[in-house]
Every structure is written in C-alpha cells, then in structure tokens.
Amino acid sequence: MYVWDNTVGSSRRVNPTTLAYIAGFLDGDGCIKARIDKQPNNKFGWRTRIAVSFTQHTRNRHVLDWIYKQLGNGSIADYPSKNLSEYVITDSKFVERLLKGLRPFVVNKFKQLDLALQLLTLKDRFKDEDSFKKGLALALQIRGFNHYHKKHFSNNPVTTDMEGTR
C-alpha cells in the first residue's frame, strides 16, 4: 500500500503487516482528532482539520520513532514534565491516504476513522456553505468520541446526533 506520493513522483510503500500494527497501536494509544479552528481568512471564519496522533511514555519513544520511520511524515514531540512523547501527523492528504490504508485493520476507532475520511473527502468544504456545514457536523461528531479537557468549540452552529461505535 502506498501511503505517500511526493511531488517528484517517488512514493513510500508500507506493507500490510506494518499497517496492521500501526492500526492496532492507533486503536490503543492513538487518536483521530478533529480540529475546529478560527480562520479569519476563510469564507466562513472557521476551518476543520483532521490529525492523527500516537502517544507513549517517553521511555517507549522508540516505538513512535519506528512508526515515524515507516510512514515518513509528521513530527514527534517530547513533554518531559509529563514523561510523554507524541507523534502527530497533520498533512491532510497524507492523513487521508493513511486512514484509507489503516481502515481494514482498525476496530476500536473505526467510527472516528470513517467520519474523518468523510470529512477529508469534502473537497469544497472551504468554499461551499453546505459542504462546510457538513464538514463541521462531521468534526463535531469525531470530537464527541474523544475527550477534550481544555478546549471546547462553544460557537456550535450545528446540532448533531451521536451514534455508537462499530
């Protein structure tokens, strides 16, 4: 499975066994996040983005380094005060291809993955009002599955119904 093609035509191939391992790691110590950010230059004043992250105690950072080496995208940050390391991928094109590759193997976070892919495939969500509203609703659904302790999107222009996981 190719998870990345760059502008000069080369690509990174990740074998199915590695994708299955990464999917299992995502199910256990990972997160599919929906960010809703103020964006004054955007037609609607907001934008939605998807990020995939993996966290691990700093003593096990080597696992995050290994996943990063397999995927070749994103960045790893250490938080010494929390003894925590986090690997985050935010490139939307890469995240879309990665989630498509992980989809057959994800069990616990399948609903978030499915919603994230729906959001990422809304190509005109920054221009078309209906697509923007649909993307915002999808982002809020994803956020409903995750626990956000500090930041909440308070100007909620969309009402959504929460569904159970797969």
pLDDT in tens, the chain (166 residues): 555 555 555 567 889 999 999 999 999 999 999 988 887 777 777 888 899 999 999 999 999 999 999 999 999 999 999 999 999 999 999 999 999 999 999 999 999 999 999 999 987 766 777 888 888 899 999 998 886 555 555 444 443 343 444 4
Tokens at 2, concatenated: 């190719």
CB-based contact 120:50 (threshold 8 Å):
yes
Gap between the Cα atoms of 53 and 120, Å rounded: 16
CB-based contact 29:55 (threshold 8 Å):
yes
Rounded to two decimals, the pTM is 0.80
Strand partners, 48: 36
Closest CA to 14 of 89, 109, 5: 5
Gap between the Cα atoms of 154 and 166, Å rounded: 28
Gap between the Cα atoms of 65 and 70, Å rounded: 9
- How many CB atoms lie under 10 A from the CB of residue 1? 15
